[in-house]
A and B are shown apart, each in its own frame.
Chain A
Amino acid sequence: MRFRAKLVDIGCIQHFTRVVSTIAKLVKGCTLRLTSNKIYFILSERVANGGISIWCELTQGHFFNEYQIEGLSEEFNEIYLDVIPDNLLRALKTGQQAKSVKIKLTKKHTPCLTVEVELPSLSNHSRFVTHDIPVNVIPRRLWDDFEEPEMPDFDVSIYMPHLKTLRHVVDRMKNLSNFVVIRANQNGEMTLKIETDMASVSTHFKDLTNPDWSKDQDQSQNRNIQTDSNQFIQARIDIRKFSQFLSGQQVNPQKVICNIVDNRIIHFFVLHEDVSLQYFMPVIST
């Protein structure tokens, strides 16, 4: 198994760092899947731990100047690693002014993802910083645990308002309740609501747009979308996790889609240039 990749452009380094930072803010540990043209950060939590799943994929060609991978075999040219994204982030953070950042899989005291940062210096020699991040190589038999989650047959799909705005609202609500009910309809309306014994607080967003899935998805995908555009579909979720998701967004995404399956699951789909992040949150019943 071999892997080496090199980032040279400072914009790419920073962008990649932001993606890792988003992941690091969402999860403590995740799986890094490397394939010949894509990099994935994957988390699939067991239901007992909250049942959150994350699927983040980036196209390597948009980031890396050099990218070599020799996976498990010809047939399975992939590598799956257990990694702590925070470690990766901290390593990348030292490379914010770097001339180049190399990431490679190494065998040191333990399997490591080595981040080699070349920093400019006062003299004509570069400064080199190497970070050895211990990783765990996941054997082939467990790979099946990390398949892309299917997009649910959602009942409603809506573009979310600006995440910053949402965050302000949610952070206030967070002090009042542990759960938030997100409601949306196909008419561009979205409501965040908390209810406690003492108060009921809701924030209404209007004039949002609903993505049109009919063109690029087959009919079976969106057959559940309500014909009555005014009918609200709702999901009750953990407000802390939601707030974490909102504040964790470092990339300032162009589009965030919220798909809701009535009282079952909520699916956030963050799209930004060459990065896509899917975040699945199960509904918490009352």
Chain B
Amino acid sequence: MKCTIPGSNIKAFGRSIHSLAKIGDELYIEPMQHGLGLRTVNSSYSAYACFIFAPGFFQHYDDGSPSNAEATEESLKCKVTMKSCLTVFKNVSSLEKTVDKCKITLDNKEDRLVFQLYCRHGIVKTHNLSYIECETLQAVFSKDLCPNLLTAQTKLLQDAVLNFQNNQEEVTLTVRPDKLTLKNYTDDEPDPTKVMHTELTLDASEFDNYQVGVDSDITFCLKELRAILGFTEGCSLPLSVHFETAGKPVVFSLDEGRGYEGNFVLATLAADDSGSSQRSTQQKHANPTANITKSTSIASKRSVNDNLSINKRDKVRNQGDVSRQDSVPRSTAKPPREGKTNQQKRTRSDASKQMDVALEELMNDDLDDLDVGAMGEPHRTPTREHRDASREQDMSSSSPEIPLQTIGGAIGTDDEDVLPGTPPSKRFKSLFFGMSQQSTSSGMTSSKHVPVVLAGDSDSEPD
């Protein structure tokens, strides 16, 4: 992979890294045909952020894959520590003035990711970063199907967020057809009567686009929202907020138009337990066909996942069928778990497979199949139809996240079955569902693996 960022765009690129740095500790870099992807996920897997810089953003862009379109997977993906990358773009404001262009090279011979900053007066600063090869980091979300869409200038949200204390962890966003309120979330405070409550009301007319399909209250972390808003510091860009109901992720997206797009997916706090039990019921009754249809894309991805560490792409394809069969019983009643090791993923209990669905998609190797926004369209539509058919009680066709719900349900089940009355006080529906919450499940020892796998880059678990 080789690309050159012109001086005029370097600020946006640098700021994107600063913004991602506020979320995660590792930066996943993936050159794709349609652009360079920078992604990160936070340590608790409750926030995911992704920027895709289109080839047009660069002076020169070569994703490094052979011209053969089939071989997109061959392009090298890697992750670097956020810290090392931050040092390259340390002082964003001066970058624009001093740097004429920035050349990024992924050198797989030397195993280095090289940033070369061509500065004024012929100075060239070269940063050689060591990287770890990994698979794609991909959260599954489909912002296009969310019933609620708000678009506002970031200035509006910045002004709104300013009203909250810097140490405020979470905010609750409540939408009604005519107005929006932001409240500080204080339920987890030791003594709620001692806490200051702040509430901000914004009129619908302040938004460029205010489309509310369902009234909802969602609670998410303010820190990540600040990270997003930090990206647009100084200038005001239109930011879209896509969301549904409590427990479903909220997606903040900066749209294309400037040669890049950014998507931030934040977990929202789960609604009360009745909500999650409902979800788990839905999940139990999920029609296998739905999963099968999905699995065509998922299964291959999953096997890629399973085998990535040994890098055998042909094996991946061969295993496609096996995995697909696997996924059929995924939603039938849970049999006792017979296999256990990570290496033998296929022998996992169904429960763990349910987790797998999500993580397969999460770690989805094939970005064109399931990606953010428009890119995911081909697959999403059939998926949705099947789901609708399979889950009558789910009236909202607007919840396309099978994996998420599946996992959400599984977590909910865990909590209810195993720890009645002792749920963690604060439960974020993790996007990637890792998290401590499942660890206590007795019937699902396999769930212990889940965080491993999820976190997982196959390089960390030698297969």
Q: Which residues of A contact B (CB under 8 A)?
A: 87, 90-91, 94, 108-110, 112, 117, 119, 121-125, 127-134
How many angstroms between the C-alpha atoms of A194 and B205 in the bound complex? Answer: 62
| Cα of A127 to Cα of B155 in the assembled complex, Å | 14
**Cβ–Cβ contact B197 & A131, under 8 A:** yes
B222 CB to nearest chain A CB (Å): 15
Cross-chain contact A122 with B206 (CB below 8 angstroms): yes
A134 touches B195 (CB 8 A): yes
CB distance from B192 to the nearest CB of A (A): 7
Q: Are A127 and B201 touching (Cβ within 8 A)?
A: yes
List B contacts of A122 (CB < 8 A).
156, 206
Measured between beta carbons, the chain A residues less than 8 angstroms from B201 are 127-129
The answer to whether A127 and B203 have CB atoms under 8 Å apart is yes
Across the interface, which residues of B come within 8 angstroms of A132, CB to CB? Answer: 196-199
A228 to chain B, nearest CB (A): 54
In the complex, what residues of A have CB within 8 A of residue B209's CB?
none
Contact at B163–A94, with CB atoms within 8 Å? yes
Evaluate contact between A127 and B196: CB separation under 8 angstroms.
Answer: no
Interface pair B193/A134, CB less than 8 Å apart: yes
Q: Are A94 and B162 in contact (CB under 8 A)?
A: yes
Give 15 A-B contacts (CB < 8 Å), ordered by A residue. Answer: A87-B196, A90-B165, A94-B163, A94-B198, A108-B197, A119-B159, A123-B206, A127-B200, A127-B201, A127-B202, A128-B200, A128-B201, A129-B200, A132-B196, A134-B193
**What does DSSP make chain B's interface, helix, strand, loop or mixed?**
mixed
B194 at the interface (CB under 8 A from A): yes
Residues of the B chain whose Cβ atoms lie less than 8 Å from the Cβ of A129? 163, 198-201
Q: Which of B123-162 contact A (CB under 8 A)?
A: 156, 159-160, 162
Q: Are A125 and B200 in contact (CB under 8 A)?
A: no
Type the 1/0 row for B288-303, where 1 means its CB is closer than 8 Å to any CB of A: 0000000000000000
Q: B192: which of A109, A121, A125 is its contact (CB, 8 Å)?
A: A109
Q: Which of A110, A117, A121, A131 contacts B203 (CB 8 A)?
A: A121
| Residues of chain B contacted by A94 (CB below 8 angstroms) | 162-163, 198
The distance from the CB of B165 to the nearest CB of chain A, in whole angstroms, is 6
Query: Which residues of B199-223 are within 8 A (CB) of A?
Result: 199-203, 205-206
CB distance from A20 to the nearest CB of B (A): 14
B199 engages A130 (CB within 8 Å): yes
Across-interface contacts of A119 in B (CB, < 8 A): 159
Residues of A within 8 A of B162 (CB): 94
The listed residue (B165, B198, B205) touching A130 by CB distance below 8 A is: B198
